[in-house]
Chain A
Amino acid sequence: MPYIPHDEEETAAMLAAIGVDRIDALFDEIPQHLQTFPQGVPEGLSEMALAREFEERAAAQPSLRSFAGAGAYAHHIPAVVPELIGRGEFYSAYTPYQAEASQGTLQVIFEFQTYIARLTGMEVANASLYDGASALFEACLMALRLRPQQRSILVPRYLLPHWREVLDSLLPLQDVRCIELDADPQRGTVRLPAQAPADAAALIIPQINALGLLEDVDALQRWATDQGLLSIAVVQPLSLALLREPGGWGESGADIVVGEAQALGIPLNGGGPYCGLFACRRDMVRQMPGRLVARTRDAAGRVGYCLTLQAREQHIRRGQATSNVCTNQGLMVTAATIALASLGAHGLREAAVRSHRQARSLLAALLDLKAVRRPWDGPFFNEFVVRFPISAVQLRDALLADGILAGVPLAELGLGEDGDLLIAVTERVSDEDIDDYRAAVGRILEQ
């Protein structure tokens, strides 16, 4: 019996102690006619047969060099990360409710909170939310708790469309609307109205927008402050090794910062599990969603860590909690923390610089091809849009045969034109990869 240790003798002794003669008798409070056997579930497999099935499925898909981004990136993962997060003591522990028996997890979270606070230039950060998009949803709700008279959120047109969809599915449940801010068609960045709508609580500022472009964050932050709006920064943590941290935007800095931490030591995994990061000003901490860890001490004055401000959370406050979140992304937090530690300030900057540099090289190589151009030409970190003279979907599909995932067609995101491809480059991309990409595109365009 997989994973169940009992032999017949033990089972019999246990049944005798309970005072029943068979296991089925333990279900005697459940009406008999409700007890049905799941005929449609196939027979179990041995560990060997199971492995064979999964290995076959894994082999069924081509191995691709990824130039796709749009929120998920193929960065290098230091070898110590999977090694350490696979340790049973991290892997198989629960949420650290019993602090004295969970100091490992608690200190990791405390370090994560510190890393995220320092990267973003904010005062406090929490122990994670499900992913970047759901963290943004929670940030909108928090902004509305801080501005209870308001009912809407200002959302730039070039927020990642999947993130926008999350807001559109969940915010209307509480009668909150998204009001879209136009983009400047030439620049591909936010065009600010003279006046914010009267019922707006916050402005979302994605630094790195869905086209890969950098926004004028100081101007956006200043406008938010002038209009009496809260600002919600959406960041890619690795880019913050180069880009200005949201805590330093404008004169006042951003109020809330969210982002997707996948780039920090977390595999692409087909889209999850990833890790939503969430930081804010210290005076807002009682409105924060999610878990928080604080440093504390025992009676002898020894330093330790524990969960804190739990009265914000659903297990204490129930319907009045700041969020319904309970289980978060613990192991991914551990991965991101260990990745940050092993890269260090130095390695992070190196990875960011190299991602930027290789992205510029690939862009230059592509613009060299006839009839290929860049529709929006502002500054970027590691992602940009190129407009091809043929459909980007067709091009992307054709390059699969070369073992290249060429990017994300903007049309699949509901943006841009047919030929637009959003291309992301990380430090893993070598000069040879760039040559191969360019050669493959050149071949397709010549056909």
Chain B
Amino acid sequence: MESIFDLDHHREPVTADLDIPAALCRQHPLDLPNPSELEVLRHYTQLSQRNFAIDTHFYPLGSCTMKYNPRIAHRLANLPGFADIHPATPAQAQQGLLHLLWDLQNGLAELTQMAAVSLTPAAGAQGELAGVAMIRAYHHARGDFQRRRMLIPSAAHGTNPASARMAGFTVTELPTRADGDLELAALERELGPDVAGIMLTNPSTLGVFERQIETIAERVHQAGALLYYDGANFNAILGRVAPGRMGFDVMHLNLHKTFATPHGGGGPGSGAVAAAAHLEPFLPLPRVQREQDGRWRWLGRADRPQSIGRLNAYAGQIGVLLRAQAYLRRLGRAGVKRVSSYAVLNANYLLKELQRVGYRAAFPQRRASHEFLLTVEDLHRQTGVRALDVAKRLLDFGIYAPTIYFPQLVPECLLIEPTETESKATLDRFVAVMAQIRQEALEQPELLKGAPQRLKLGRLDEAWAARHLQLVQER
């Protein structure tokens, strides 16, 4: 593909009489191309066609909940009445927007059975940072400054330990049992007066429900620590099990997963945080409040002096929040429960079918949640084919690859999440393709190791990239 920097036409420079001292002005003209509008349209249209996406391909990427992103949500979030609002607009001139955000705060509080919600975190990781900072603020407010340690299962997403570190905690990793549940004895060993809390994902990143959750919550609370819930897997229990009921004190939701807002090739996301009553005063700002007179306004520092404060310049990813609210409103009470029902049905069906054609489940004795882990360690030992090769071969069949090598504790693993919006026919085709790939692995492993074979580019050399480090287009 050509580069946008090759599409240039001479344009007469704009002359200007500037009221700015020359010393502050640019001395060389901007070294940027001037393509025609049609060239721009064509260039980026053609680039878009070099992507796999939900709208064009099955995308069973574990832990990412790549479900259909309803177009109505896109259209409604872009209504000029919302898109043109400047963030410094006084509350009286953005009542419609505040009303919708208020509804979303309440809907999320209801679904999580938490006391209050702040919509400001920009993504899951920022929600985590907010949540663990709130845990810290809670302990400090009680005069307890010794709790400097956060417990995190070794299978947790990388953002969990990274967020805990960012909030000033040291991290202790907890082991997982062979059946996928947490090693309770290790938890009990680690708990003590220096532990601030534990970060858990449930269902876990291993694709199974942590069955001891109530015992864990009890032990953690007895030790004076709090429970953080990573809501990345909320799709598995939406409308059915609430983190607040499981004993969690604070959590984030990935609205760009469970609530069907698009991933946009890497973002923007939205990581709303929800908290139980004892953590409500610490929620990040601003938040929407409804006044006695029925009008809405932003809550600020003066209203919540104990808040951990502001995480972004404004009130969060409003455009994403509007999409999430549109989705929630469209589904309603019955619809949310159907989401988890069919997400879990699809995952369990797919797991059964893949086992039937010869694949090994990492946790064969367990029910799948909305996703499940396979391991191809057996194939690797027999043929040298790795999870990476299976992933690349799937691309040849027009299927995006599942998440691979996460969680790291299961060797040669693929984390597969079909989501509820895929039909049985799509799943059946996936099974047929996976069966063929398994056959190929056994008969002609080189085919997989050289995959993808049918795309415009073959396997790209990441080591070459890191060695040469060409991060910008040379002139």
Contacts and interface: CB of A to CB of B under 8 A. Distances in A.
A and B together in one complex: yes
Contact of A108 (B90, B122, B265): B265
Contacts of B208: 29
A343 B336 CA distance: 43
Contact of B55 (A40, A92, A344): A92
B431 to A, nearest CB: 10
A218 B125 CA distance: 37
B176 interface: no
Contacts, number: 656
Nearest to A412: B88
Contacts of A375: none
A314 to B, nearest CB: 4
B64 interface: yes
Contact of B53 (A14, A90, A175): A90
A41 B31 contact: no
Interface in A98-122: 98-105, 107-111, 113-115, 117-119
A41 B110 contact: yes
Contacts of A326: 123-125, 157-159
A285 B472 CA distance: 13
A38 B333 contact: yes
A413 B316 CA distance: 18
Given A127-B266, A270-B85, A295-B465, A57 B161 contact: no
Given A58-B82, A326-B159, A90 B125 contact: no
Interface string A150-182: 000000000010110110111001110000000
Contacts of A84: 41, 44-45, 48
A228 interface: no
Contacts of A353: 14, 16, 18
- Max chain A C-beta neighbours (<10 A), residue from B74, B76, B315, B422: B76
Interface in B188-222: 208-209, 211, 213-214
Interface string B436-473: 00000000000000101001111111101110111111
Interface in A182-229: 214, 216-218
Given A4-B420, A268-B83, A332-B268, A169 B311 contact: yes
Interface in B330-362: 330-339, 341-342, 344-346, 348-349, 352-353
A327 B239 contact: no
B69 interface: yes
A346 B36 CA distance: 11
A242 B136 CA distance: 45
A294 interface: yes
A416 to B, nearest CB: 15
A405 B26 contact: no
Interface stretch (B256-264, B273-281, B375-383): B256-264
B55 to A, nearest CB: 3
A371 interface: no
Contacts of A162: 310, 313-314
Interface in B414-447: 420-424
Interface in B152-190: 157-159, 161-168, 171
A86 B81 contact: no
B334 A243 contact: no
Q: For this complex, into which size category does the number of interface residues on chain B fall?
A: 35 or more
B391 to A, nearest CB: 7
B348 A113 contact: no
A419 interface: no
A69 to B, nearest CB: 8
Contact of A59 (B81, B123, B256, B338): B81
Nearest to B399: A101
Contact of A92 (B53, B329, B339): B53
A374 interface: no
Given A27-B344, A294-B465, A379-B20, A61 B74 contact: no
Contact of A299 (B55, B107, B342, B458): B458
Interface string A81-93: 0111111111111
A440 interface: no
B395 A90 contact: no
Contact of A348 (B30, B72, B470): B30
Nearest to A31: B214
A61 B96 contact: yes
B329 A268 contact: no
A93 B51 contact: yes
A446 interface: no
Interface in B33-70: 33-35, 37, 40-41, 43-45, 47-57, 59, 61, 64, 66-70
Contact of B92 (A53, A381, A400): A400
Contacts of A29: 208-209, 211, 366-367
A105 B266 contact: yes
A315 B406 contact: yes
A256 interface: no
Contact of A285 (B33, B80, B319, B471): B471
Nearest to B202: A30
Contact of A50 (B21, B330, B461): B330
B392 interface: yes
Nearest to B464: A296
A15 B342 CA distance: 11
A57 B96 contact: yes
A276 B316 CA distance: 13
Given A105-B265, A160-B313, A295-B465, A27 B47 contact: no
A437 interface: no
A302 to B, nearest CB: 5
B421 A5 contact: yes
Contacts of A117: 471-472
Nearest to B65: A94
Nearest to B154: A318
B263 A327 contact: yes
Given A61-B94, A98-B401, A272 B329 contact: no
B316 A125 contact: no
A102 B471 CA distance: 17
20 contacts: A15-B345, A34-B214, A44-B332, A58-B76, A60-B81, A89-B53, A91-B264, A104-B49, A119-B30, A244-B27, A268-B83, A268-B84, A272-B318, A299-B458, A308-B471, A318-B158, A326-B123, A330-B263, A331-B264, A405-B89
Instruction: State the 6 A-B residue pairs at the shortest beta-carbon distance, nearest first.
Output: A44-B332, A271-B314, A58-B81, A88-B55, A331-B264, A169-B309
Given A244-B26, A273-B267, 13 more contacts: A3-B421, A5-B421, A36-B113, A60-B99, A61-B93, A87-B45, A93-B54, A103-B1, A128-B266, A270-B87, A306-B462, A331-B266, A341-B43
